Every structure is written in C-alpha cells, then in structure tokens.
Amino acid sequence: MCLLSPLARLWMRRLVKAAVMLTLASKLKRDDGLKGSRTSATASDSTRRVSVRDRLLVKEVAELEANLPCTCKVHFPDPNKLHCFQLTVSPDEGYYQGGKFQFETEVPDAYNMVPPKVRCLTRIWHPNITETGEICLSLLREHSIDGTGWAPTRTLKDVVWGLNSLFTDLLNFDDPLNIEAAEHHLRDKEDFRNKVEDYIKRYAR
C-alpha cells in the first residue's frame, strides 16, 4: 500500500475542494441561465399578449366608433393608448334622462381572453351600479354560470352597448348590485325617481 506524504495529502485535499467549487459554480451558472431563459420567455409571452391586444383594439375601436349609440361618446385621453378610454352615456329616456354618466375602461393585457375592467366615475342611484362605481353587467363577468358572461367573441362595441343599456333595457331591479336602490324602487317608485333626479343635478351634469 502506497502512503501519501502529508504535503501530498494537503495538495490532494486542495484539488478536491477546487473541483467541488468548480462544479458548484458551473451548476449555479447553468441554473441562472435557465432562470434567465424562463424570465425572458415570460417577458416575451407578456409582450406578445400585449401585441395581440393592441392589434385587436385597432380593429375594434374603428368598429366601435362606426357603431356608437347616439347617446354615447368615447374619449381617448392618450390616442396612443387605445386600451384606456372614457365613455360618456347621456340617456335620452327613462329615469336617468338628462344625466351624463362617465365610465372609465381599461383593457388588460390578456384581452380578449378576459373582459375589460370598467368603473363608473359618476355617483349614481342605480340598482346595478354602486355609489362607488362597481358595475353589475353580465358580459363583464369573466365567469358566468348562465352563459351570458364574457367570451373572446365579444368586442368593445358589445361592452359600450351593454353599458348604454343599463339605463334602459338592462336596468334590472330583480338582480341588483345596489340592493338599497332596488328596495327603494320597490317601496316607493316616485321617491326613487326623485332621488335619481337629485343625484343627476348634484353629480351628473
């Protein structure tokens, strides 16, 4: 059996330690490379998704502007950002006639797989819109058990026409979001009308 001298054993330990360190460094570098690739792929997917959304919006905004209800106006604060716009609805009949109601719409990166996010900026007394701006409209629901929720076949035109109809055909007292407003209407329709008109005078001119 050949015995190594103390000096040889010392050098052997150093060589083994160096080999281990080299292996660890190589593994870390490889892991960082994989992580970077995943991050790059995620960023690429996000960019690709935004690109899909923006191409859709160019077409849908043109369609929307050509088919806008006469009671609606659309405003783009930044013409280069079609995914952010404001809608003004000015009903010409019903309880809300004479008011101007502002909605803020933001189209997310994942559009059209998910619906736009819409909020009412005008304080209103309405069974399907809360005083803080939340909206109950079936087609804005990402998941709907009755099949009337969002689907990739829907467009911005559908959203705008749906919001416009909340003041006429889709005004729904039977399935309210603002339960207090719905109960008010059930209890005293004339007083409900008076409160709606008061809100219009105060917030929707």
Q: Predicted confidence band at 30 (pLDDT cuts at 50, 70, 90)?
A: low
pLDDT (tens digit, 9 = 90+) per residue, 116-147? 999 999 999 999 999 999 999 999 998 776 77
The reply to whether 72 belongs to the active site is: no
Average pLDDT, integer, range 157-162: 98
User: The tokens 């467009």 sit on which residue?
Assistant: 155
Mean of the pLDDT values across residues 21-37?
Answer: 52
Q: Give the separation between CA 141 and CA 163, rounded to whole angstroms.
A: 13
Every domain of the chain and the residues it spans = 60-203
The highest-level CATH class for domain 60-203 is alpha beta
pTM of the model: 0.77
Measured between alpha carbons, how far is residue 97 from residues 100, 102, 130, 177 in Å?
Answer: 9, 14, 19, 21
Is the backbone peptide bond immediately before 112 cis, with ω within 30 degrees of 0? yes
> pLDDT tens, 17-27?
554 455 445 54
Mean pLDDT over each residue of the chain, to the nearest integer: 86
Higher-scoring residue by pLDDT: 73, 28: 73
Selecting among 70, 84, 120, 136, the annotated active-site residue is 136
